[in-house]
Structure 1
């Protein structure tokens, strides 16, 4: 007998059911019908006017009722003239009820508008091998795109013009075909001007041919300026049904081409206004250079014939394009009587926004800025458009043939203003202060920094916060909140207390993490703030990434919930407002009484400044602040945990030894300590952050005739000393006017030291502080050294003596009793004994000559020694001898982190006493190959002024360092606490090992994380083609003028990734309140014929 296994399969039935009106629709119907079964035309009019905010007369309501009845029942005449609930429900879904989003003022210059812009508009697919055709151009024009880009190239016989993506496998399409299609479809979707950007790679005769084609094709449609270059762009209203040409003028093109042909073969330092394949590199440096081309044709001579041919072409250019020579700052300069178009890659924009944000906004107030995708977007993907928009860029060029969330945002933005392809920029991007200053608004929230799937692919994140104190051992502790599951705006509402023994050295540490049950928790942001500088009250705290770079949007609101103005904020507002409005006097009272600012900066002028900062918002009222504006202020930059306009407030007249100095270690390294590049970039970055001590390791070149900066004995590359000195000179006082100290760790012969002396003198000139006598008896004050450069190193004579001593040693022996002020690789080891060696074998390997003639020494040494303002060195003997204090001289002592740890155990008070007059520099141990850092609090506790850190690293210790030097206006100098400088009647000094009493208690309450890009999801509705969710969500918006509501419908799948079912994006600033039918679109942004969501919007 055989056994059989029976499988019973059931097929799932998909039932299509007609869903009734949701409760909100029923409620509205019953409200305006008085509980009746039919809605009259007058009742419909009341509903439209009161609930929806629409203007509707009696005749309009009558017409609507008639149209709905005819459409629903296909009967020409009706005896009844009213709507049933089902009729009303159907009407809410009808297109007539949801007309295009309204109109804006179109009479301003073109530079006042965001313009719907395409990139490589002729491509049907990817950037490498897809077809070139007029079909995607036609499709873009029907969508409302107003800027079409064409790349012009000669055909193989050089007698006609093709449109193609140069340097790729894309087959061409004839230019004349594209132009004719543009003419036919240019104004199908919008009557406002169409701009054609020509990226041409043509000879002058072909440019003349293009000019003839344009004239013959467009005729009177073509806009030709009266002058060669416009002083101001015309308005979209004046340019209705006109076509504008934008390209680089032929003469500038020829000069650029000639320069390119004469230049070197390397193109890594060139960038082009032409968006050809090879001209959109990923290297940020290349995005700042002059224009170049890929055309292999030689155009080296600007003949008279070429000039005549180019003149006709030039006269057609309405929007001149081009970049002035130089870097980004030069490219963004304004010209008094000329407007132009500038093109930057998405990467160049990010760099420009970081370094020249205000200049970008100022440039776009008058000129046009075009942003294009980076060259590695082979698949025609796109980038986040909001970075461009928030800086005023009018032409954010997108691959319209692509798809994805970024393109959905672009589509959503340009549904605004009737879908005409022009959206007026917010007023705050156009406003100028009395001195020409502008505001660069980066927004609040996590929407610009994290994708919805950054933490969890299938659900919103589970955030928790760690809060604690970094300080002396007795104060250091960490606590954490409970995780809040599936919420982009978590509300913890927990409070912590920290008893502090040394509040002067305490920093508040805040970290946000995303809880992961199966893996390591994800990092979401951090900040460190000096407790001594914290302002009490409700504060918005910006967060930073692992490297200490500020996250553009992420903030924590201390003490208050964020999902809507929290109840406690409402109570505060009610307490300090009158009849729902907070006047300037009320706000001033709040600042003084609740924020406790009566002894700091709270004045009527400050209250007025807060009012002025909110004037551009639609919620602002002249009489005063409403609740939303007040809440916006609480989350704004003016309400940060530190002063919004930081100023130096410590006494700066004491000697240098009385301050902690923001100090770098191996400041020239871009990454790890073994193999990274040496460069001026990390030096510049450190100086811009406020670092005041820069370290350079000086070594001879292979030829022994040039001085290099590099990390000896490693694989790191070298950078020239002159480049480093020039970079320091240019950026030394960008972030702070207080002195910069350059520490030389030199490995040079005396003749090279003399060369260094000349370089330093020639570079810095009068900026250089050179003591009038051999060695200082007391260090000057930071105040007396404003905008001065100080050199710190070991004097040459001591250096030579050490070298000779080293030369006498046998090869196989290593001294464990001598120490070095030089931090070469082998002198920073984990073994504290090895770290006190005088010199490593790496130095003798460099072949430094130690036997020198006395006359040479006398000739070269004084030149170098004269530069040294801060003498470095260690007396011979054990660590106790190092810490000896001399009455008539001051000096700098360097110790590794391990040496300090060992010395602190035995000579703790001696270290404190030494640092009251002298400088102590502490550097990382040699095993920190990854450029990590150590806990800075041990050296700070003992008074060490120069706690040298790898600024190119990252991690909690670096966050602490950055937090510390946010104090005192971020000037790079923080006054040491008095207890580290006090001396008792019997000569006693502070002992960090003693147990100290509690001085202050800091209470911290964490409320939540505000977001402009919060993500919510409804519950799953199973087995239903007509799902009814009836869910409600709330989103707080910090910049509603640039916010886009993103909606996605997904089909839930228990065994696989949910299936996509539709999406749409809508500009929040133009949402109409009430119940609305929202059509959905596919992945590429094509509108579904029938798919809609019924949604209710409330804006308050």
Structure 2
């Protein structure tokens, strides 16, 4: 694969033109538009820019950071400038995670197409690489070489090599480094040329802990025979069922030598390739595709859900954008929220009411949903509609939904379903509207407003201050007056609500006696937590037959998040988070929904699907056996810096293992820190956890930079469900705060799970 990139750089006309460089207009807003000189570097992996050709250049982005490219017509910002620049000359670079898009306008349609074709080619090549191929990619090593070659003479002297080590986040003994340097300097010129530097780099990245493990199972220390590799897979990796078949498959996949493949043996290089691959990953590959039963009722699943999906920032003055919906849908979200209000010219708008957040057109949101709803997952998308519109604009909302979504919109019930909700399988490719539905002789008000009409001690709605005057009882005497102060639901919009009719929650008894399986109630996080503490088992039983949605407190004006695990413990399906805000809550959410094909639906454990369940998250007794987890944190590989601008700054890494589950299982432990080594730190420490309800546990591995004066700084993390964790020697490939890859940063661990072992964790 590495050679493919180099070959394309030398032959592809688009890439050759990109390496020459082009003046392109960078657009940040309607008023900020600057010409910049963009150039693809010779490594084929990075794009740099300068104010002008020949000017001081700086990195703009790495190809591995790019998720996709969009034409100018698909850019919200460039469409606003279509009278100034032809849309055909514009394009957008979309990055993984929460990094803002890069909107660009070329000087001609031809130049725009050159960059779009060239970038897409490189993105496709990089995406198809596996972990080891990326490490072997010359561009990766060459990038370090160029950063270390300070005087740009094509050679690296020893002083430059020492400086490079600081850039690479490591402080090593000078004599040891000198020995590695001299061994790589085969030309004996006291400098390293590019090829010699590759050998120097390989010596730096030598994995002694993996070599020791290899030698423990190899009779001659040179290779693993087929039987030796089978023994390793059975004894250490717990691959007991298919070890012989897997051994043959892995040798064929990871052994670099053709003769080794023919003899069915695994070299040290092949062994390391296996451990660094997806098959040596801590996340069970069997849990990556859709592997769960998708034919159960909708309420039997945890559903990946977003709150105030239109926002890219905070709740008070943040930007509203269709990009919020695109990003949520791209990461597998299956329930998005739309707050719709009356807009000018008869067109409804979406924004966070009574705030300074910007406005976007409802029809643009609907068009975005039509385009992106099923690109990541074809399982049903729930549109949680918070309706604040007048009768006339509600009709416009209904018309847009019907005309723009077309066949995607579920408008009628499915045949043969009377006593349960349809399954995700039956609803493939359908968008369901969640909202109020008219009932005979009743006036229906907006969902969030109706919550305010209830004398509810748990009430914590975002719109409470504006609605306190509406708490009077609705009687025939004041009905006429009431109609003038509340929103009356339009029949056309009501008709689009098929299975997800929102109703106010009064009590679990009231819900059982008055509501149906297609009714759904919303709870603030505070109200839901109180219900779990006061009636945890009743909440579990309620969620076993009816959907519920939990949303963040209205006091979270900074768009922060709560811990979703507390609500999943009670079986709450739609736990809505502010997806624009990075942090441990979104790490847990991403970790849970990483499984099952990333389709946005995860089947709840059986004890959370039983309407007669005895399970109480506050006093848990698992129907299965408690388990003990042993995590030996062995080593780290090429960890990132906290501040890349400081060459002399080297991290002192430690690893924290966090468990999130029922209260008894929610705990954390951490290793000691390793001083001045973020490149190849070694901990060799064992952490032990006793877990009562492993079926609900999420594990979060966090690497931090120790600092005795301030809070330890975040370096990287990886989160996954207990049920998707592989045992044995595993690599954990770290992710950033935004959930994007920090390749090649990883930690190497040994995982062992035992049943019914009580341990003292003090």
Q: TM-score range by the shorter chain?
A: 0.5 to 0.7
**Are 2:320 and 1:678 equivalent residues in the alignment?**
yes
Note the 1:1015-1054 alignment, pairs <5 A. Answer: none
Q: What corresponds to 1:790 in structure 2?
A: 432
Q: Measure the CA separation in 2 of the matches of 1:850 and 1:907.
A: 36
**Are 2:80 and 1:291 equivalent residues in the alignment?**
no
| 1:898 CA drift (Å) | 0.9
**Are 2:110 and 1:110 equivalent residues in the alignment?**
no
Q: Contact (CA 8 Å) 1:272, 1:292: kept in 2 or not?
A: no
**Are 2:83 and 1:264 equivalent residues in the alignment?**
yes
- One of 453, 462, 467 as aligned partner of 1:825: 462
Q: Contact (CA 8 Å) 1:665, 1:948: kept in 2 or not?
A: yes
Summarize deviations over 1:231-276 as a string: whole Å, max 9, x none: xxxxxxxxxxxxxxxxxxxxxxxxxxxxxxx973369995599xxx
| 1:806 CA drift (Å) | 12
Q: What corresponds to 1:590 in structure 2?
A: 232
Q: Measure the CA separation in 1 of the matches of 2:258 and 2:638.
A: 17
- One of 613, 616, 627 as aligned partner of 1:1000: 627
Summarize deviations over 1:908-965 as a string: whole Å, max 9, x none: 3322221111101000001111111112122112211011100111222221222222
Q: What corresponds to 1:503 in structure 2?
A: none
- One of 506, 524, 536 as aligned partner of 1:908: 536
Q: What corresponds to 1:75 in structure 2?
A: none
1:391–1:701 CA distance, 2 compared to 1 (3 A): farther
Q: Measure the CA separation in 1 of the matches of 2:396 and 2:222.
A: 72
Summarize deviations over 1:400-450 as a string: whole Å, max 9, x none: xxxx9855459879669xxxxxxxxxxxxxxxxxxxxxxxxxxxxxxxxx9
Q: Measure the CA separation in 2 of the matches of 1:990 and 1:387.
A: 47
- One of 718, 723, 738 as aligned partner of 2:359: 718
Q: Contact (CA 8 Å) 2:306, 2:579: kept in 1 or not?
A: yes
Q: Secondary structure at the match of 1:1005?
A: strand
Q: What corresponds to 2:339 in structure 1?
A: 697
Q: Secondary structure at the match of 2:422?
A: coil
| 1:667 CA drift (Å) | 0.8
Q: What corresponds to 1:322 in structure 2?
A: 111
Q: Contact (CA 8 Å) 1:827, 1:834: kept in 2 or not?
A: yes
1:108–1:958 CA distance, 2 compared to 1 (3 A): closer
- One of 982, 991, 994 as aligned partner of 2:616: 991
Note the 1:292-307 alignment, pairs <5 A. Answer: 292=108
Q: Contact (CA 8 Å) 1:790, 1:868: kept in 2 or not?
A: yes
**Are 2:498 and 1:869 equivalent residues in the alignment?**
yes
Q: Contact (CA 8 Å) 1:879, 1:903: kept in 2 or not?
A: no
Q: Contact (CA 8 Å) 1:885, 1:914: kept in 2 or not?
A: no
For structure 2, the residue ranges without an aligned partner over 5 or more in a row are 1-5, 24-41, 44-50, 56-80, 93-98, 157-163, 178-203, 474-480, 642-646, 651-676, 682-762
| 1:361 CA drift (Å) | 7.4
**Are 2:665 and 1:899 equivalent residues in the alignment?**
no
Q: Contact (CA 8 Å) 2:251, 2:261: kept in 1 or not?
A: no
Q: What corresponds to 2:571 in structure 1?
A: 943
Q: What corresponds to 2:185 in structure 1?
A: none
**Are 2:295 and 1:668 equivalent residues in the alignment?**
no
Q: Measure the CA separation in 2 of the matches of 1:1017 and 1:815.
A: 57
Q: What corresponds to 1:917 in structure 2?
A: 545
1:271–1:747 CA distance, 2 compared to 1 (3 A): closer
With normalisation by structure 2, the TM-score equals: 0.58
Q: What corresponds to 2:609 in structure 1?
A: 981
Q: Secondary structure at the match of 1:902?
A: helix
| 1:872 CA drift (Å) | 3.3
| 1:581 CA drift (Å) | 2.1
Q: Measure the CA separation in 1 of the matches of 2:532 and 2:8.
A: 69
Q: Measure the CA separation in 2 of the matches of 1:834 and 1:894.
A: 19
Q: Measure the CA separation in 2 of the matches of 1:835 and 1:570.
A: 73
Q: Contact (CA 8 Å) 2:636, 2:678: kept in 1 or not?
A: no
Q: Measure the CA separation in 1 of the matches of 2:472 and 2:230.
A: 62
Q: Measure the CA separation in 2 of the matches of 1:582 and 1:941.
A: 45
Q: Contact (CA 8 Å) 2:386, 2:448: kept in 1 or not?
A: no
| 1:771 CA drift (Å) | 3.2
Q: Secondary structure at the match of 2:283?
A: coil
Aligned residues: 537
Q: Measure the CA separation in 2 of the matches of 1:388 and 1:629.
A: 14
| 1:632 CA drift (Å) | 3.1
Asked which structure has the greater CA Rg, the reply is 1
Note the 1:288-367 alignment, pairs <5 A. Answer: 289-292=105-108, 322-324=111-113, 331-332=116-117, 342=118, 357-358=123-124
1:754–1:886 CA distance, 2 compared to 1 (3 A): same
Q: Secondary structure at the match of 1:939?
A: helix
Note the 1:723-762 alignment, pairs <5 A. Answer: 723-762=364-403
Q: Contact (CA 8 Å) 1:689, 1:735: kept in 2 or not?
A: yes
| 1:706 CA drift (Å) | 0.5
- One of 953, 957, 960 as aligned partner of 2:585: 957
Q: What corresponds to 1:553 in structure 2?
A: none
Q: Secondary structure at the match of 2:399?
A: helix
- One of 531, 554, 571 as aligned partner of 1:926: 554
Q: Contact (CA 8 Å) 1:357, 1:391: kept in 2 or not?
A: no
1:408–1:885 CA distance, 2 compared to 1 (3 A): farther
Q: Contact (CA 8 Å) 2:637, 2:680: kept in 1 or not?
A: yes
1:723–1:870 CA distance, 2 compared to 1 (3 A): same
- One of 423, 437, 440 as aligned partner of 1:781: 423
Summarize deviations over 1:196-230 as a string: whole Å, max 9, x none: xxxxxxxxxxxxxxxxxxxxxxxxxxxxxxxxxxx
With normalisation by structure 1, the TM-score equals: 0.41
Q: What corresponds to 1:1067 in structure 2?
A: none
1:596–1:749 CA distance, 2 compared to 1 (3 A): same
| 1:633 CA drift (Å) | 2.1
Q: Contact (CA 8 Å) 2:640, 2:678: kept in 1 or not?
A: no
Q: Measure the CA separation in 2 of the matches of 1:689 and 1:804.
A: 29
| 1:836 CA drift (Å) | 12
| 1:641 CA drift (Å) | 1.0
Note the 1:160-179 alignment, pairs <5 A. Answer: none
| 1:767 CA drift (Å) | 2.3
Q: Contact (CA 8 Å) 1:269, 1:285: kept in 2 or not?
A: no
Q: What corresponds to 2:77 in structure 1?
A: none
CA RMSD, Structure 1 to Structure 2 (Å): 5.7
Q: Contact (CA 8 Å) 1:796, 1:865: kept in 2 or not?
A: yes
1:615–1:728 CA distance, 2 compared to 1 (3 A): farther
Q: What corresponds to 1:580 in structure 2?
A: 222
* Range 110-119 or range 620-629, more displaced: 110-119
| 1:620 CA drift (Å) | 9.2
